[in-house]
Structure 1
Amino acid sequence: MWQLDTAIVGTSSAITALRAYLPKVARSRATVLVTGETGTGKERVARAVHELGPRSPGPFVVVNCGALPDSLIESELFGHMRGAFTGAHANVQGAIASADGGTLFLDEIGELSLFAQARLLRVLESHEVQPVGSTRSRQIDVRVVAATNRELEADVAAQRFRADLFYRLNIARLVIPPLRERPDDVGVLADHTIAEFNRRDRCRVGRVAEPLLRCLQAHDWPGNVRELRNLIEAVFIDPPEGSIHLAHLPPVFQRVFGQYRSTSDSERARMLEALERCHGNKAEAAKSLNCSRMTLYRKLAKYHVNAPPFEKLD
């Protein structure tokens, strides 16, 4: 049975606020735009909008706009009639019509061509869909939830994304923060994923040991929750019978996360050591710490670290 607390996991203020807001969005009729980096769980949030709303008995249809070439996106979304183009041997119902009475989730909406964007806008405004090769339209009742990891405002300014479609989509905005901005959620997510894999594989793997957890919390997580899930799944290839320590990770992951250990076990000390080793070059220090430059700046401010005497211009 679908449950919000197990679908959207975390105890950080950002995730707690998102869970509280989701039922209100779900009950509305507004189109929804979900934004967040790759791997943050945008489809889970879209599914929550569907499951918590009055359309939950209806279909939830997913279209990955980034995986389809321009030549297929129209047919995928709007359907086509037999003979509409070479290879169209039968009438095909598109994703929009398939989602009638339910929810259409358009993942990576920013990858749509301008032409496809114009046709999608017409559907949103008219509530009608016209298959490729047809002269007749069909009335549809679909709620659209779109998602992107792009900065659509910047794409609008650069004329890569239609402003009118952006404003039509950006009514209810749900922003998923990256995992590096909510390190307290790392342990909660790890526990949740371990429990899931224990049930799946009938194992009895324990929690992440505290020293390893500190390493995980110091990581930048460019792949976000998906990267953490992949890490836990790698542990289950040869599952330990107890807590998970660094030695239980495959060698490639040991190299990634082992670098976060230091004699003082202090993140502040690790940053200072990296800056000194890189002669104050923050870009190089961030690279050696396996984090972004902006994350390094944020952590320097967090620990009130002023520019050290060895700093150089970078």
Structure 2
Amino acid sequence: MMMNHSLFPWMIAALMGVFVYGLTYHARYQQPAPPSYQFYDTASVTVEIRGSEELHDIYGRYNNIIEGKRQLVKASQLSESRYRLTFEVNSPRPALLYVDDEPQEVFLVPGDTTLHMSLRYVPETFRFDSVTYRGKVANICDYYQDKRQRFGRVSLRAAPHLIATDTFQVYAAKLDSLAARELAFLAEREVFSTLPQWFVSFEKSDILYQKAYLKLSQAYNREVSPELLDQAPLHNAGAVLSYYYYLYIQTYLSQHFPGNPGRPQEQVLQHLAVADTMLRGAPHDVFMTRAIFQQLQRGDSSLARELLDRYEGRFVSQKYARFLRTQVMGEPLPG
């Protein structure tokens, strides 16, 4: 049977079309690589205000996980309607932007300069509406915006203020209820949106460890039934980006290994010895870096140097050890 050679060009064109479509589909729908901790990096946000020629007050707040550095960043004006904020960012996590004191939650990633926030100003109400985002993390910012509209100020982040009039049992029940609602909302958005899987893991961990940390910290010096506390895993690789994960570990160690309150250095040595055996991988490196850096912040450089000498060889990723050596010893970063 003879093959019709006139079909060859059409077959080749069809195969090329399938190949190009496959590449396009893969590029469009593949999950981006999870972000990681990066030292001495920045992230910037461009803010555009439509419908207004006035000068607006725009600033942002961000807290680095490792240094615990709380930043207040004022926006610089690029043009009549465009502003830019640049943050020192070493850890991927949320930040709050304020436009004329109206808060908007965004997500910052080290090295990301693509985030663009656009707001429409309504002169009749002196308020903003129609907030939209563009950039690599736009879908995450959309999630935060929808979450705020769903829950308002009734959220886990406002939970510490509830303790003033509640018994611990009532307080714990409120935390459980708030966390369940937020997890249900996350599951709903995971199905109907394109949230990256690494962010879903981060948000789930942040909710659960925030709840566990709030319970544990409020139980200090109180008679609390153990079943009211959360038994959250101390080693959890999926929680590596969660600020509350490290607060929970630190609080757990303080309460379960109190040591001698009159000898804080001995407490630190004991806590890091336990953490060094309990944690692995990135959670180990981040927690140990935070703990050693905290000694510098407290002015105890000799203890920080002792801890670095003891644990430097235990880091899985040497970028953490290099960062600490630069901070503790004043040595320049390697080229």
Pair in the same fold by TM > 0.5: no
Q: Give the alignment's TM-score, normalised by structure 1.
A: 0.26
TM-score, normalising length from structure 2?
0.25
* Structure number with higher relative contact order (C-alpha < 8 Å, ≥ 6 residues apart): 1
